[in-house]
Amino acid sequence: MRHHFGHLGRTKLDILTGFATVLLIVATVVLLSNPGHVLAQKYDARRQDDIRALMQAVLTLQSTDPNAFYAFQAAVTAAGAPPRVMLGANSDCSGSWGTQCSDAILADHCVDTNAYLGPYLKSIPFDLSSPLFSERQTGYYLTLTATSIEVGACNPSGPDPIFLQRPL
């Protein structure tokens, strides 16, 4: 009598059933780990770090070079900030750029981040979650009023806005 040890007495149907079971278990584990949610949390954490860096740069500019800060304020006003202006490279920023930067509340021109805040930043941060954002249109906005400074993310992953606000 001849024995085939390759299948150890299993039929092709047994092998396919086992393979399908393993695939089902792997798919269940992947779905339960929710990689989309994990990635969204990672992007939001990065946004928070970028916003802190941008806010620190604005506050440092204000405290170390008041004349440059006044020029920065004038550039924000000249951009047509009603009330938000996107930080970027003095380029066209018209249109909607996310849930927090709709066309109705965002100025049509970006404020040149590098010209005013560049000396206080290691690099110009921009939102990595979308190919729309770059150093030209960072995906971060600034609201500068007579009483406060607000820096925030144009398109956070969740329904809650991500921003920092400080009195001026």
Tokens of 79: 């951009």
Q: What is the pLDDT of residue 38?
A: 73
Determine the average pLDDT of the residues in 4-9. Answer: 58
Of residues 77, 61, 164, 47, the one with CA closest to residue 118? 61
**Residue bearing tokens 């970028």:** 50
The pLDDT confidence band at residue 164, using thresholds 50, 70 and 90, is: very high
Higher local confidence (pLDDT), 102 or 11: 102
pLDDT tens digits, residue range 20-74? 888 777 766 666 666 677 778 888 999 999 999 999 999 999 999 999 999 999 9
| CA pair distance 89, 106, nearest whole angstrom | 15
pLDDT of residue 37: 72
pLDDT of residue 168: 79
- What is the mean pLDDT of the segment spanning 153-159? 91
Give the integer Cα–Cα distance in Å for 91 and 163.
23
Other Cβ atoms within 10 Å of 44 Cβ, number: 17
Q: Write the pLDDT tens digit of every residue in 88-144.
A: 998 899 999 999 999 999 999 999 999 999 999 999 999 998 898 999 999 999 999
Q: Is the Cβ–Cβ distance between 120 and 56 less than 8 Å?
A: yes
